[in-house]
Chain A
Amino acid sequence: MANVLTVEHLTKKFAGLTAVNDLSFTMKERTIHSLIGPNGSGKSTTINMCTGSLPITSGTVKYRDEIISGRVLHEVASRNIGRTFQNLKLFGSMTVEENLMVGMQAQMKDGILKFLVSPASAKAEEKRANERAMEVLDYIGMYKYRNETVANLAYGQQKLTELGRSIMTAPKLLFLDEPAAGLNPSERVEFVKILLKVFDDGIDLFLIEHNMDVVMNISNYITVINFGSKIAEGTPKEIQNNDEVIAAYLGSQFKKK
């Protein structure tokens, strides 16, 4: 299987603090790859560097055969790489439907002049985007909330809206920064179901997550970092039996017999 993501010697320094230190790992095609580690270990910094939200200090990030490190967020996103954020980033004053429609914006190619002189073309383009938004809303179970202003929704629904907006960009690889955080158990179960559906539909997933039930149940491969450096990688079973990971992060209750 080909590599989707190749991270080599990735380093991030904030003044005197080295947040990520010489981190290297690869993510294979058709896998759910998780990055775990204690708070402050550099997980979000890693995702932010991979997606162009944060400039890197040194190292490279490759998406398939193309080096994407050094590119900014929108350039990375335009390569069919989607992401969600640890602290939700939504368009709070807009409806759920509008939030999703913005996700399709980069695929709506008509310029402003064409829009002004050709109302029919603009209408057709808008209709296509709207139909796609309706499909995705149905897919994530948010259709009935489509006309609600996002700021008025519950946290779980806001998370789904953010996921839906990412799906609208037609990603091939999706970075998810703590997708299950803040969800109650039933919401979490629903969210995981949707994530698995997304994966089954051909989108590779890279996730950061603290909930070990989620990580161990859905991941194909896990990379563990502590103090910005990799301490282990392997299948969920291998990670659960890795003494260093147990000591640094998991605790003995996760050890698999």
Chain B
Amino acid sequence: MSDKYKKILMVLIPLMIAIAMPLIVTDNYFRGIFIMTLIYIIVVLGLNFITGLTGQMNLGTAGIFAMGSYTTALLSTKLGISPWLTIIGSIIMGLIIGVGLGYPSLRVQGVYLALTTIGFGEIVRILISNFKFTNGIMGIRDIPAFTIGSFSFDDKLARYYLYLVFVVIMGVVAYRITNSKWGRLFKAIRDNYEAVQAVGVDIAKPKVLAFTLAAIYGCVAGSLYAVHMEFITPSVYTFDLSTTFIVMMMLGGIGSVPGCILGAVVCTILPELLRDFGNWYWIIFSILVLLVILFRPNGIISFLKTRKKSVKEGVK
């Protein structure tokens, strides 16, 4: 089979599974888990730009996610703006965060950048917990659902398919960027930023771009989360959530778009399947994660990848 057909199948099969899943599993609780999976896929696809490809550790994704959620929640409940339009608000918020967090982060690297981003996440959480207009720790309730005319996406099945459309669009964009000159540049910065400068590229711009993409994806996912939950509180957006996103990316395959999708799916659904083990399920899940990271550092996706041609095979 040619590579082209293999690629088409690699997209079609997971997409068909994604379309069929909520029809096969009709339990509303599990449909809710599937929706959460879609939301997390978007976050991890964004995180992949900055941490997976560019190699800049971002441990403040929960803060970005919160900013998206609160943008939608506040705009729709306080100003009565349509949830569709609040998505645009979220994208603008992502731009602001990307530039606001991206430029200062040019001065710090490695563990210092990790600490800076943790600081960002915590500042956001503390602020939304204390501001009056965000309703403090009580959170915001009655966030309206997406509607088209008289049709409302408040049913979980309809909402699942709507969110799947978001995932497909954002997944295609992520895939295109990753496999373009931008993705190549992000990886080059990760491998050796001085060599990138030596070919005449100011690394500030691509770094800020990667931060901005991560922030836009995180904020849009945050918006979808707020609409899905209808009620949000600051207690969700913790440092734990940021590390969960990192685990999803590492487990699936750092730097790879299909890997990120797979990681988000496994990390969201597997704990639910392991619930029968009672209190042991987190330990079992953690051991599985550790084993994958230890023995397949390129993630679960590396099981599916074929070996590249060796030097000898490449020589004609």
A-B contact count (CB 8 A): 106
Given contacts A98-B184, A144-B316, contact A74 B191 (CB under 8 A): no
Q: Name the residue in B197, B198, B308 with the highest tally of chain A Cβ atoms < 10 Å from its Cβ.
A: B198
Asked if B273 is at the interface (CB within 8 A of a chain A CB), the reply is no
Asked if B192 is at the interface (CB within 8 A of a chain A CB), the reply is yes
**A92: nearest chain-B partner, CB-CB:** B191
CB-CB < 8 A to B184: which residues of A? Answer: 94, 98, 101-102, 105
Nearest Cβ on chain B to A106's Cβ, whole angstroms: 4
Given contacts A101-B184, A122-B180, A149-B308, contact A94 B191 (CB under 8 A): yes
Report, as a range, how many residues of chain B touch the other chain: 20 to 34
Main SS at interface, chain B: helix
Nearest Cβ on chain A to B213's Cβ, whole angstroms: 8
Nearest Cβ on chain A to B292's Cβ, whole angstroms: 19
Mask: chain B, 151-174; 1 = CB below 8 Å from A; 0 = not: 000000000000000000000010
CB-CB < 8 A to A73: which residues of B? Answer: 194, 197-198
Residue in B173, B191, B202, B314 whose beta carbon sits within 8 Å of that of A93 in the complex: B191
A116 and B176 contacting across the interface, CB-CB below 8 Å: yes
CB-CB < 8 A to A126: which residues of B? Answer: 180-181
In the assembled complex, the Cα of A82 lies from the Cα of B210 at a distance in Å of 26
**Interface of chain A residues 104 through 158 with chain B (CB within 8 A):** 105-106, 108, 112, 115-116, 119, 122, 125-126, 129, 144-149, 152
Asked if A165 is at the interface (CB within 8 A of a chain B CB), the reply is yes
Nearest Cβ on chain B to A160's Cβ, whole angstroms: 14
Report, as a range, how many residues of chain A touch the other chain: 35 or more
In the assembled complex, the Cα of A75 lies from the Cα of B180 at a distance in Å of 24
Asked if B203 is at the interface (CB within 8 A of a chain A CB), the reply is yes
B199 and A105 contacting across the interface, CB-CB below 8 Å: yes
In the assembled complex, the Cα of A43 lies from the Cα of B115 at a distance in Å of 38
Mask: chain B, 233-256; 1 = CB below 8 Å from A; 0 = not: 000000000000000000000000
Q: List 26 A-B contacts (CB under 8 A).
A: A51-B198, A73-B194, A74-B196, A74-B200, A78-B200, A82-B199, A83-B198, A85-B194, A85-B195, A89-B194, A90-B192, A90-B195, A102-B188, A102-B195, A105-B185, A105-B188, A105-B199, A105-B201, A122-B180, A125-B181, A129-B181, A144-B314, A147-B308, A148-B311, A149-B308, A165-B195
- A residues neighboring B (CB under 8 Å): 51, 53, 72-75, 77-78, 82-83, 85, 89-94, 98, 101-103, 105-106, 108, 112, 115-116, 119, 122, 125-126, 129, 144-149, 152, 165-166, 168-169
